Amino acid sequence: MMELTFSPATGLAAWREALRTASLLGAREARTALRTPVYILSNLLVPLFFYLVMVGSFETFASRSGVTNWEAFLVPMAIIFAAQGGSAGLNMVSDIESGYFDKLLVTPVNRFSILIGAMAADFLRVTAQATLVLLMAIGFGLDFATGVPGAAALVLLSGCWGLAYSGLGFAIALKTGNAQATQSAGYLFLPLMFLTTLFAPREALSGWLGTAATFNPMTYLLQGMRSLTMDGWNAGDLGVALLATAALGSVSLTMALLALRGRVR
């Protein structure tokens, strides 16, 4: 057998190595997701069901609130439901519980690659789900204001939001190492989805609900998404949406990194 002769990579090589291993681990996560289609299907069917029910039931109510294109107004809701429906971090908890996470920790893989790989897989999951939801909505008669490039931008924005949001799930997964805690934490964030303009325009929200919506980053994400689906290209609305996503992302990623640091030496 050959001699044990190693030196850890440094500088640019270290970054390249971290990216390489993150992509390997991301591909593994994606493979696991594809092998549990029921998980993807439920994340797809529930938002689509909500979308169709809301479109069919509240169009008259919406027009009274001044919404002219109700389908285009609602489609970001379905996409966000799809993005946040899956409990990010559950696969990681399963790895922690099975001991596979420890197996990864005794390889020379950079610790952050493990997290980044899992988050990248979540980004792929959300963009795939957003694309499917969007295609189905178009099939049901959605009129999209910014055409194919706008749809691509919407999917990308959804992916970024999904990535930012998933950091919270990974933080809880790494902190607790417990599936139930991670899953219930997903429900904790559910009310945030209703304290915003998900189902009604901002003008229709009064009192404390209006105030809560002002401080909810999702409000600004929806503003950007709806500019794409309803109005046309608007750099200001898109900028605000990206900023809100970046703000959530920096908080959630910091939490996830701290949780990771707490779990590994």
Binding region for another protein (CB under 8 A): 1-8, 17, 21, 24-25, 28, 31-32, 35-36, 95, 98-109, 265
b or e along 90-110 (b: 16 or more beta carbons within 10 Å of the residue's beta carbon)? bbbbebbeeeebeebeeeebb
Q: Which is nearer to another protein, 124 or 209 (CB)?
A: 124
SS3 string of 123-167?
Answer: HHHHHHHHHHHHHHHHHCCCCCCCHHHHHHHHHHHHHHHHHHHHH
Position 160, amino acid = C
Q: Which is nearer to another protein, 71 or 95 (CB)?
A: 95
Return the number of the residue (108 or 141) whose C-beta is nearest another protein.
108
Shortest reach from residue 78's CB to another protein, in Å: 28
Which single residue is written with the structure tokens 């809701």? 77
- Cβ proximity to another protein, 21 vs 197, nearer residue: 21
| Planar angle of CA 199, 45, 49, nearest 5 degrees | 40
In terms of Cβ atoms closer than 10 Å to its own Cβ (0-12, 13-18, 19+), residue 209 is middle
What is the smallest separation between the CB atom of 260 and another protein, expressed in angstroms?
Answer: 14
How far is residue 193's CA from residue 64's CA, in Å, rounded to a whole number? 23
Nearer to another protein, 125 or 226 (CB): 125
- Residue 8: CB minimum distance to another protein, A: 4
Closest CA to 158 of 189, 127, 132: 127
> Closest distance between another protein and the C-beta of residue 253, in Å?
23
Nearer to another protein, 36 or 63 (CB): 36
List CB contacts of 220: < 8 A, sequence separation 6 or more. 240, 241, 243, 244
Provide, rounded to whole angstroms, the least separation between the CB of residue 176 and another protein. Answer: 16
Of 28 and 181, the one with the shorter C-beta distance to another protein is: 28
Q: How far is the CB of 15 from another protein (least distance, A)?
A: 15
Angle at 249 between CA 248 and CA 253, to 5 degrees: 120
Residues 6 or more apart in contact with residue 204 via CB below 8 angstroms: 65
- Kindly state the DSSP code that residue 89 receives in the 8-state scheme: T
Least distance to another protein, CB of residue 101, Å: 7
Given the complex with another protein, which of 34 and 156 has the nearer CB atom? 34
Least gap, CB of 262 to another protein (angstroms): 12
